Amino acid sequence: MPNRDVGSWTAMISGYSRRENHRSALLLFKEMRREPVRANDFTYGSVLMSMSCKDLGCLKEGMQIHGCVEKGRFAGNLVVRSVLLSLYAKFGKMEDARLLFDSMKERDLVSWNMMIDGYTAVTSFGLFQLMLAEGNLHSCLSFIHISKRSSDSIWLDIFEMVSELHGFATKLGFGRSNVALIRSLIDVYAKCGSLSSALKLYEGTMKGDLISCTAIITGLAQQNNLTRNTWNNILNIINRCAIFSDSNF
């Protein structure tokens, strides 16, 4: 093509990015910048999605584009700022992500979920409460992000927070219907040492689910003083999982 406009460049960059050929997307963007063509919001959004791939280590280049965006006419573009937010969050630069997040005049559910997913359990729960206080929509994905953060946490004193989250999710219809959320809740209950809550949720919704079985067994095995009753619980769950597993073949 002798004359390649911004639409042509962006279509190619976006195509590479969607197919996860991130290196080619980045190289093509650099080539475009050597031409007398000005990037638009779709161009920035596409190349920033590729830069968010941690394997490329493009945080520095992403921050440079952030500077260009702030100086240009796309400073307030929700799509561009959301992708920038994803870039900072994926690289663990949560202070930069929060500064960008707080500066956004408009924040959609994707932006909220990115921040919630990037923070630790306690901070993400506080942000989730702020999201609700501001009247923003919530999704099952928000609950999954928080419950996963809770299960990854080193704190064992977050039972009340998780219990509150569980109750709220149940009221909204997420607590008994979404497999990923239920598995995360069972996992965090087990890691918190609240095995009765984990077992109750397991028996009521996920009986025979191998992933949930593993989470409960791990939680039981990590108790300091294993009683005969504890061992019986472990054996019962193992046997039950084996039965359900065999029935699938």
**Mean pLDDT computed over 209-221:** 77
Is it the case that residue 16 has pLDDT exceeding 80?
yes
Q: Of 25, 33, 35, nearest to 3 (Cα)? A: 35
Residue listed under structure tokens 């990115």 = 114
Tokens found for residue 220: 């039981």
- Arch. (CATH architecture) of 1-106: Alpha Horseshoe (1.25)
pLDDT digits (tens, 9 = 90+) for 165-174: 788 778 777 7
Cβ-based neighbours of 244, under 8 Å, separated by 6 or more:
207, 208, 209, 210
The lowest-confidence range among 52-66, 143-157, 204-218 is: 143-157
Write down the pTM of the prediction: 0.62
Confidence of residue 241 (pLDDT cuts 50, 70, 90): low
Least confident of 32-41, 185-194, 233-242: 233-242
Q: Which of 13-22, 83-92, 222-231 has the lowest mean pLDDT?
A: 222-231
Burial tier of 102 (Cβ tally within 10 Å: 0-12, 13-18, 19+): exposed
215 pLDDT above the threshold of 50: yes
167 backbone dihedrals φ, ψ, rounded to 5°: -65, -40
Convert 218-229 to b/e letters by CB count within 10 Å (16 or more is b). Answer: ebbeeeeeeeee
Domain regions of the chain by residue span? 1-106, 125-249
Please compute the mean of the pLDDT values over residues 137-160 and round it to a whole number: 62
* pLDDT at residue number 6: 92
Place of tokens 């193992």: 238
pLDDT tens digits, residue range 49-82? 888 887 777 888 889 888 888 887 787 888 888 8
pLDDT at residue 184 tops 70: yes
Question: Does pLDDT of 224 surpass 70?
Answer: no
Alpha carbons within 13 angstroms on the beta-carbon side of residue 149 total: 26
User: Is the model's pLDDT at 13 over the cut of 90?
Assistant: yes
Angle (CA) 190 192 198, round 5° = 30
Closest to 187 in 3D by CA, of 247, 179, 96, 22: 179
Both tokens assigned to 27? 């190289």
Position 203: which residue type? E
Choose among 67, 63, 56, 69: nearest CA to 26: 56
Round the average pLDDT of the chain to a whole number and report it. Answer: 78
- pLDDT given at position 15: 94
Residue 96 pLDDT class (50, 70, 90 cuts)? very high
Pair 142, 169: CB distance under 8 Å: no
Contact in structure between 208 and 243 (CB atoms under 8 Å): yes
pLDDT at residue number 25? 92
- The answer to whether 10 touches 43, Cβ cutoff 8 Å, is yes
Rounded-to-10 torsion of CA 20, 21, 23, 28: -120
Q: Three-state DSSP class for 87?
A: helix
Give the Cα separation of 143 and 153 in Å (integer): 15
Dist. CA 160–CA 110, nearest whole Å: 26
